[in-house]
């Protein structure tokens, strides 16, 4: 059983009618319903929960954290970002969705600015799976269409070890590395860009399939600790003067 | 002319006699003298300088920043770390030396914990160059010995895109990826572990040669900006509903 | 002075009127004219030259080899492929263009099948530079259009260390990693897909700029040898039983 | 059930008494016994078998191929090498052991010369696991000793996407990337250097544990085909002139 925590900023859905119309209970609730499966134990938390939804109790019982955020990146405390990063480095899986690319959290694990181009156009996006043998690609079609999307375009400023699983084509002429994996210490990270607060992308079966695969891939095989131990020599010294 | 700024914590050298004996004017001064060359314009700054030695004036006129730190990692402000990281992402080169591996700065560009094993033993280290064709390796022997060193051993928790240029063998049985490069946006980063406050390693010609090569390699070809621009479509929409 | 050898299959241009109309003297001649510069010493050879244009004399005096081939991949002898691969591994730069992706040579340095999707449609291609700080990108616009192209689409079966410098968008819905670098031993390799025998792509300034940059990037810094030497121990044995 | 085929050159063991003394039934037989497990269906073949032990029947029923070779690399036909490479690219796992680093097969999947330094000294090797979270590392100690080994030293000429799981320290002063993974198309590859014909390394529990983990990791999740299909456009043309 993989313990999944879906963290949602959950502000748009309370304030804007156009968002509420698509995700009346919040994006976290839509994701929780769409991802429900026998091997997943799913919980949702939001920014306005106690401790920003990120208490020790929550993080200590999470195998994979899903992150959706957009307008309130700055409100997440630096301390909470550091706590999550440490959890990732010791094994917790992390799935960052869409506008989460510009969260403090994603920038912190990348070490890059994570900047990109964007356009809220409702144009057509075509997603291509370029690594069909990867666990995240199993059961996902080689290509599928998101009928209306927010465009995210290159250059996407991510580190060189980002492994590209999905690439996107946009009607307006851009391309994007729309599904990438990273590893940081014991932790696996998957970023997937399709998804937006005013388009019903998180109801689309292919998108849910990808995120679900991402969860299973990112679930930790084992956990580590962060330490910088002083150690004794294992082989005897001889050359030392 | 490459504008080099050597940043040194410069605390050990003022407080400890054993350090002062090796680096009486500070590690920064020894490096500045050892690296002096016609194509380098070298300046030194230290933690106790105004603005921690990291004013806009300094950073804006730096092509490559060299970082030596050990005991006072925590004193460097988060704001200064963020400012340096942004400079790196937009093109400033960064050379991180020895115990700088555990600085906030190096952790921030790596996204990993940067932990390792260590032993202050004065044992023998043998450095191997494993990428003889890399610019940083030019003129450096295939292998050379650091007679007395602080051991740094694996696992070194660094990201997967760290390119290994040097590997070290230690008398006590450990191995280490002792010279690695990273890229973050427009900026190039080189980490090199040989060097310590109580051993005269920064007087060793091979070590100075490596660091000098690192400076020339990390000097920016061009500079970028960090932005996340909203853009117009370049190809006309048609499929959009 | 970089010694460049442009190798062209040169069959299409002799047999097909539609190709002759675009490249009357052969693609190699068009490239040689388009790439001419003071720092390049350019020579052209073709498949039907003595020794397939790949004599020791030619290879020994080449710093960077440009490879254009399409219909006669199989005619290049295995022995010649092995000779070129060895030259690359010891430092000769290699630029593989367009349909050269399916040459024995490119497959040999990749270790993968190098397969892709294609369509000879004359559709519009938009090329994006995603690593603006890379030497190959200097002076190249962030995006440019190839008005009529042969589509090459993902999945492009290349190895994981292919560094993506350019990505392409096609009118028909595909995306492609259209400019990638690889390193094999001392040798640097650049693959660039834009270019075709029936479209005047090799007269396009942006395309020539990219290839020219590729040549300068791939020119060897130093040369190596391939050997598997038996060596003496550098540190004395003690633990041995 | 993973179908494992152990391919052994099996020449040393028939000709040399010192080898026969250690592996009286051949290295393949020792490996087959040491790796036996409920989830593995293990078969052994040798170079002198019909079709060099590499018939279609064998390859078509193999999930993971283990390769041990040393003195007869040249005798394996180019055609058989190509057939195995194609199988790997479409999903068959491959484990290359010790001196197999210089086989045509390993060079073909690497695209590099795979050269290294060596010394048949019987010296002490200390193996370090540097990616403890990797599937191949599960249950393997952080470090273990091979009491008597053939030294393999850097530079090991392998491609940049080689992921280093194990690094070795040698008494005589060398270091080595002794356990690496690669991916080629649908196929996973693991190279592990410990093991030799005159030392009883393939009886050592840690070594067998690593190889067994390698088999489970390299077993294909799915299989692909190699094709370069001509395809129709998915999005309508409009810009085309």
**Contact between chains at C115 and D233 (C-beta distance less than 8 A):** no
By C-alpha distance, which of C181, C190, C184, C240 is closest to C215? C190
User: Å from A53 to nearest chain D CA?
Assistant: 28
Q: Which residues of B touch C (CB under 8 A)?
A: 91, 124, 126, 132-133, 135, 138, 143, 169, 171, 185-186, 220-222, 224, 234-235
For chain B, what is the mean pLDDT?
Answer: 97
Distance (Å) of CA D106 to CA C111, D41, D102? 9, 24, 7
On the CB side of B19, CA atoms within 13 Å amount to 15
User: Å from A234 to nearest chain B CA?
Assistant: 6
**Contact between chains at A126 and C173 (C-beta distance less than 8 A):** yes
Tally C-beta pairs within 8 A across A and D.
38
Give the model confidence (pLDDT) of C143-173 as tens digits. Answer: 999 999 999 999 999 999 999 999 999 999 9
Give the model confidence (pLDDT) of A110-128 as tens digits. Answer: 999 999 999 999 999 999 9
User: Å from A25 to nearest chain D CA?
Assistant: 35
Neighbours of A51 (CB within 10 A): 14
Q: Determine contact, residues B95/B211, Cβ cutoff 8 Å.
A: yes
Spatial distance between the Cα atoms of C152 and C149, rounded to a whole number of angstroms: 9
CATH number at residue B78: 3.40.50.880
**Contact between chains at A131 and C155 (C-beta distance less than 8 A):** yes
User: Å from D122 to nearest chain A CA?
Assistant: 17
User: Å from C204 to nearest chain D CA?
Assistant: 17
Q: Do the interacting molecules here have an ipTM over 0.85?
A: yes
Spatial distance between the Cα atoms of B12 and B19, rounded to a whole number of angstroms: 6
Q: Determine contact, residues A42/A81, Cβ cutoff 8 Å.
A: no
| Least CB–CB distance from D167: residue in B142, B160, B175 | B175
Neighbours of D161 (CB within 10 A): 19
Chain A residues touching B89 at Cβ < 8 A = 112-113, 157
Q: How does DSSP classify residue B119?
A: E
Q: Which residues of D touch A (CB under 8 A)?
A: 91, 124, 126, 132-133, 135, 138, 143, 169, 171, 185-186, 220-222, 224, 234-235
Chain C residues touching B220 at Cβ < 8 A = 133
Q: Which residues of B touch D (CB under 8 A)?
A: 126, 128-132, 142-143, 153-156, 160, 163-164, 167-170, 173-175, 235-236, 238-239
Q: Region B216-234: what's the mean pLDDT? A: 96
Decide if D132 is inside a domain.
no
Q: Which residues contact A184 (CB under 8 A, 6 or more apart)?
A: A85, A88, A89, A109, B111, B112, B159
Decide if D161 is inside a domain.
no
Number of domains in chain B: 1
**Contact between chains at C123 and D237 (C-beta distance less than 8 A):** yes
**Contact between chains at A173 and C169 (C-beta distance less than 8 A):** yes
Q: Region B149-154: what's the mean pLDDT? A: 98
Give the model confidence (pLDDT) of D129-168 as tens digits. Answer: 999 999 999 999 999 999 999 999 999 999 999 999 999 9
Chain D residues touching C226 at Cβ < 8 A = 113, 115, 157
Residue B230, strand partner residues: A118
Q: Which of A133, A144, A189, A224 to mutate to test the interface with D (most CBs of D within 10 A)?
A: A133
Residue C241 clears pLDDT 80, i.e. is over it: no
**Contact between chains at B122 and A240 (C-beta distance less than 8 A):** yes
For B136, name the nearest residue in chain C, comparing CA atoms only.
C221
**Contact between chains at A235 and D171 (C-beta distance less than 8 A):** yes
pLDDT of residue C238: 80
Decide if A76 is inside a domain.
yes
Spatial distance between the Cα atoms of A118 and A105, rounded to a whole number of angstroms: 20
Residue D206 clears pLDDT 80, i.e. is over it: yes
For chain D, what is the mean pLDDT?
Answer: 97
pLDDT of residue A241: 46
Q: How do D93-97 and C40-46 pair as beta strands?
A: unpaired
User: Å from C224 to nearest chain B CA?
Assistant: 8
3-state secondary structure of B197: coil
pLDDT grade for C239, boundaries at 50, 70 and 90 = low
User: Å from D138 to nearest chain A CA?
Assistant: 8
Spatial distance between the Cα atoms of B166 and C165, rounded to a whole number of angstroms: 26
Q: Determine contact, residues A105/A66, Cβ cutoff 8 Å.
A: no
Instruction: Please report all neighbours of D, defined by 3+ CB atom pairs within 8 A.
Output: A, B, C
Q: Which residues contact D168 (CB under 8 A, 6 or more apart)?
A: B175, D125, D126, D127, D128, D152, D175, D176, D178, D193, D194
Residue C170, strand partner residues: C125
User: Å from A177 to nearest chain C CA?
Assistant: 10
Spatial distance between the Cα atoms of B215 and B221, rounded to a whole number of angstroms: 12
Using the Cα atoms of residue B212, residue B213, residue B216 and residue B221 in order, give the sign of their dihedral: negative
pLDDT grade for B241, boundaries at 50, 70 and 90 = very low
Chain C residues touching D240 at Cβ < 8 A = 121-124, 148, 171
For A163, name the nearest residue in chain D, comparing CA atoms only.
D161
By C-alpha distance, which of A165, A154, A142 is closest to C160? A165
Spatial distance between the Cα atoms of D225 and B219, rounded to a whole number of angstroms: 45
Q: Determine contact, residues B19/B197, Cβ cutoff 8 Å.
A: yes
Q: Which of C154, C158, C241 to mutate to test the interface with A (most CBs of A within 10 A)?
A: C154
For D155, name the nearest residue in chain B, comparing CA atoms only.
B130
Percentage of chain D lying above the pLDDT 90 cut: 98
Q: Determine contact, residues A10/A27, Cβ cutoff 8 Å.
A: yes
Write a three-state SS string for A13-39. HHHCHHHHHHCCCCHHHHHHHHHCCCC
Is residue B62 left, alpha or beta, with left meaning phi > 0 and alpha meaning psi from -120 to 50? Answer: beta
Percentage of chain C lying above the pLDDT 90 cut: 98
Instruction: Please report all neighbours of C, defined by 3+ CB atom pairs within 8 A.
Output: A, B, D
Residue B54 clears pLDDT 70, i.e. is over it: yes
Domain containing D76: what range?
Answer: 2-114+177-218
Give the model confidence (pLDDT) of A166-190 as tens digits. Answer: 999 999 999 999 999 999 999 999 9
By C-alpha distance, which of A218, A208, A200, A214 is closest to A35? A208
Q: Region A139-157: what's the mean pLDDT? A: 98
Chain C residues touching B169 at Cβ < 8 A = 235
User: Å from A201 to nearest chain C CA?
Assistant: 20
pLDDT of residue C4: 98
**Contact between chains at B171 and C143 (C-beta distance less than 8 A):** no
Chain C residues touching D232 at Cβ < 8 A = 119, 172
**Contact between chains at A133 and D221 (C-beta distance less than 8 A):** yes
Residue C41, strand partner residues: C3
Percentage of chain A lying above the pLDDT 90 cut: 98
Q: Region B29-47: what's the mean pLDDT? A: 98
pLDDT of residue A117: 98
Give the model confidence (pLDDT) of C84-117 as tens digits. Answer: 999 999 999 999 999 999 999 999 999 999 999 9
Residue B223 clears pLDDT 80, i.e. is over it: yes
Q: Region D210-232: what's the mean pLDDT? A: 97
**Contact between chains at D155 and B131 (C-beta distance less than 8 A):** yes
Decide if B159 is inside a domain.
no
pLDDT of residue D241: 46
Decide if C163 is inside a domain.
no
pLDDT grade for A238, boundaries at 50, 70 and 90 = confident
Residue A240 clears pLDDT 80, i.e. is over it: no
Q: How do C117-129 and C93-97 pair as beta strands?
A: unpaired
Place of tokens 């950073």: B59
Residue C132 clears pLDDT 90, i.e. is over it: yes
User: Å from D158 to nearest chain A CA?
Assistant: 18
pLDDT of residue A239: 61
Instruction: Please report all neighbours of B, defined by 3+ CB atom pairs within 8 A.
Output: A, C, D
Decide if B31 is inside a domain.
yes
Q: Region A73-92: what's the mean pLDDT? A: 98
Q: How does DSSP classify residue C230?
A: B
Residue B240 clears pLDDT 60, i.e. is over it: no
Chain C residues touching B171 at Cβ < 8 A = 235
Decide if B165 is inside a domain.
no
**Contact between chains at C175 and A169 (C-beta distance less than 8 A):** yes
Residue B19 clears pLDDT 70, i.e. is over it: yes
Chain D residues touching B173 at Cβ < 8 A = 126, 143, 169
Decide if A120 is inside a domain.
no
Q: Region C179-186: what's the mean pLDDT? A: 98
Percentage of chain B lying above the pLDDT 70 cut: 99
Q: Which of A117, A130, A144, A159 to mutate to test the interface with C (most CBs of C within 10 A)?
A: A130
Full-model pTM: 0.98
Spatial distance between the Cα atoms of A77 and A99, rounded to a whole number of angstroms: 18
Exposed/middle/buried for residue B49 (C-beta within 10 Å: 0-12, 13-18, 19+): middle
pLDDT of residue B115: 98
Chain A residues touching D234 at Cβ < 8 A = 126, 143
């Amino acid at each position: 059983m993989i313990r999944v925590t879906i963290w949602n900023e959950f502000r748009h859905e309370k304030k804007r009618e156009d968002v509420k119309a698509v995700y009346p209970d919040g994006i976290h609730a839509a994701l929780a319903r769409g991802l429900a499966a026998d091997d997943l134990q799913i919980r949702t938390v939001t920014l306005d929960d106690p401790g920003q939804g990120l208490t020790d109790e929550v993080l200590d019982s999470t195998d994979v954290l899903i992150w959706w955020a957009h307008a309130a990146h700055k409100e997440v405390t630096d301390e909470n970002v550091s706590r999550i990063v440490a959890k990732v480095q010791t094994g917790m899986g992390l799935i960052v969705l869409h506008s989460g690319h510009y969260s403090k959290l994603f920038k912190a694990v990348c070490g890059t600015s994570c900047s990109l181009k964007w356009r809220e156009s409702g144009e057509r996006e075509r997603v291509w799976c370029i690594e069909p043998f990867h666990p995240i690609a199993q059961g996902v079609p080689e290509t599928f269409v998101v009928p209306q999307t927010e465009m995210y375009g290159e250059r996407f400023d991510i580190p060189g070890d980002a492994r590209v699983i999905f690439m996107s084509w946009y009607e307006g002429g851009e391309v994007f590395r729309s599904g990438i994996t990273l590893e940081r210490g014991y932790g696996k990270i998957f970023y997937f860009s399709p998804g937006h607060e005013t388009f019903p992308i998180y109801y689309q079966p292919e998108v849910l399939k990808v995120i679900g695969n991402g969860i299973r891939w990112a679930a930790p095989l084992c956990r580590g600790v962060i330490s910088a131990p002083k150690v004794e020599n294992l082989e005897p010294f001889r050359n030392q003067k």
